[in-house]
Amino acid sequence: MRVLLLEDDDALRSSIASVLRSRGDAVDEATTLAEADERLFITDYDVAVLDRTVPGGDSAALARRARADGVTTPILFLTALDGIEQRVAGLDAGGDDYLAKPFAMAELLARLRSLGRRSASVQAPVLTLADLAVDPAQLTAQRGGRTLTLTAKELAILVYLLRNAGRVVSRTDLIEHCWDEDADPRSNVVDVRMRLLRQKLGEPALVHTVRGAGYVAREPDAEDARPVVGGDPGTA
What CATH architecture is 2-118?
3-Layer(aba) Sandwich (3.40)
Q: Is the peptide bond before 136 cis (omega within 30 degrees of 0)?
A: no
Show me where the domains of the chain are located. 2-118, 127-217
- Residue 3's DSSP bridge partners are 27, 47
pTM, rounded to two decimals = 0.62
CB 189 within 8 A of CB 57: no
Evaluate whether the domain defined by 127-217 bears CATH number 1.10.10.10. yes
Phi-psi region at 191: left, alpha or beta (left = phi > 0; alpha = psi -120 to 50): alpha
β-pairing verdict for 146-147 and 140-143: antiparallel
Q: pLDDT digits over 65-88, tens only?
A: 999 888 889 999 999 998 999 999
How far is 205 from 159, CA to CA, in rounded Å?
16
Q: Is the peptide bond before 220 cis (omega within 30 degrees of 0)?
A: no
CB 80 within 8 A of CB 101: yes
**Percent with pLDDT over 70 in the chain:** 86
Q: pLDDT digits over 175-201, tens only?
A: 888 887 666 656 688 888 999 999 999
